[in-house]
Amino acid sequence: MINNMKNIASYLKVGLLSGCLLLSSGCELDIPNPNAASDVEVLNSREGIVALSVGMRQFYSTAGLEAALLYPGVTGREMKGVATFTNVLELEAGGTALPTFNGNILGLWSRMQRVMYMSEQILENAPNIPTLTGGTLSGVMAHAHLFNAMALGNLINAFEQANLETSRTDRVTFNSRAEVLAAAIAHLNEGIALIEAIPPSPEFTTQVTGTAFDLRNTLYAYSARYNLYAGNYDAAISNADKVDLTRRSEFVYSTLSPNPVYNTVFILAYFRPRDKFGLPDALFEAGDRRYNFYMTEPGADVAGDRVMTLAGFFNTQTTGIPAYLPDEMKLIKAEALLRNNGSQDEALALINQVRTQTAGDPFSVHAGLPAYSGPMTREALLLEVYKQRSAELYLSGQKWEDSRRFNRPGPPDNLSERNRNFYPYPDQERRNNPNTPNDPAI
């Protein structure tokens, strides 16, 4: 058993490090480890693919989520950059003050590329391993499709264009937002088809995801999310309907692998939450219980700015971060109905399910507000959806995307709800790849 665990650890290390080789900015191994497994051993053995699958999710849940939640959280004005480090100050300033050499932008870009690369390794090699079959193979493959889709979704949330695949030999080409979302949705559809045909085995759950991460429901939830972004409203509703709203799916942490938002906010003290979810006063409702769920107020003011302390899923080393929140599905359906000329009454009922909830949410995120009493127009109800998403899905990596999609005030005239429309491409990508598009103006 000890020798087997050592082998798995060796495979896992190589699986994580192999992603670095994709990027010229990646890891440099100064001292070779003669005891580590080679890429060939990792990609051609059952144990290696299993370990790489675990490593992919582990990397995403730590380094990946730090970048995907916090950096867009600052740009979407949920969080405030407070450290005196140049990268943080540039991210906080946004606009034309955010340079192409900013390390946070490079971090978000390169970490998502690394997740994509590990996923591609699994998808290419897992079907060729004779001992990897049945529900273990379908689970491993669907899991890889999911994380590839997540990486693509995070890239197109932050950049106007992105690559659909990685390459260690050729210069990648860039694709439009519509194409990247379509690719993410295709990965999710493939993952769903795999597990619906052959459900993941208990062995897959034990060795790869654990019981806290619900692969099936997460695939459907992200399909609903990205179909909404893409304007595929019927598909968004259909997939949201297939999510079991009583189930939890989360990334888990330990003292050895701590919650990355906790580490960056509380230990490094780079960021802190903005008051009222970062919303303007007119869009914040007093008495919303989610306010005290996600943040606490120590009572200090700095230059008239209330200093808030982050809570919710982020205030201890070991607090899990949800892969999605169940009530997101209700808000997806409400928005899709309103944008697709569906029933306003049905959309209102879904909004009120979120607004008035006081118990029963698997993650205990409850608004506890009275029912909606505003105008019954599509425009007013869409604004209400935006308000509810901003509170319910606080620091889930979606506020910046929502701000653009709901056509909220934005740069260059107004930086209060987002300080960039999209990030510029990292200098390192541009130096290495002449296919890199022109940077957006802001």
132 occurs within a structural domain: yes
- Provide the CB-side half-sphere exposure for 288 (13 A, CA): 23
221 occurs within a structural domain: no
- Structural domains in the chain (count): 1
- For the cut 70, the answer to whether the pLDDT of residue 5 exceeds it is no
Q: Could you tell me the residue range of the domain that residue 198 belongs to?
A: 40-210
Rounded Cα–Cα distance for residues 312 and 307 (Å): 16
Q: Which tokens belong to 286?
A: 């007093």
User: Strands 309-310 and 295-296: what pairing?
Assistant: antiparallel
293 occurs within a structural domain: no
438 occurs within a structural domain: no
88 occurs within a structural domain: yes
Is the pTM higher than 0.75? The answer reads: yes
Which of these ranges, 83-97, 256-270, 293-307, 333-347, has the smallest mean pLDDT? Answer: 293-307
* Span 288-315, pLDDT tens digits: 999 999 999 776 666 667 889 999 999 9
Position 64, amino acid: G
* Span 163-216, pLDDT tens digits: 999 998 999 999 999 999 999 999 999 999 999 999 999 999 999 999 999 999
328 occurs within a structural domain: no
User: What CATH number did the domain enclosing 150 receive?
Assistant: 1.25.40.390
290 occurs within a structural domain: no
Contacts of 97 (CB under 8 A, 6+ apart): 90
Q: Are 102 and 158 in contact (CB under 8 A)?
A: no
Rounded Cα–Cα distance for residues 389 and 399 (Å): 8
Contacts of 47 (CB under 8 A, 6+ apart): 4, 7, 8, 11
CA 10 to chain centroid? 28
* Span 257-275, pLDDT tens digits: 999 999 999 999 999 999 9
Residue 173 burial (CB count, 10 A): 14
193 occurs within a structural domain: yes
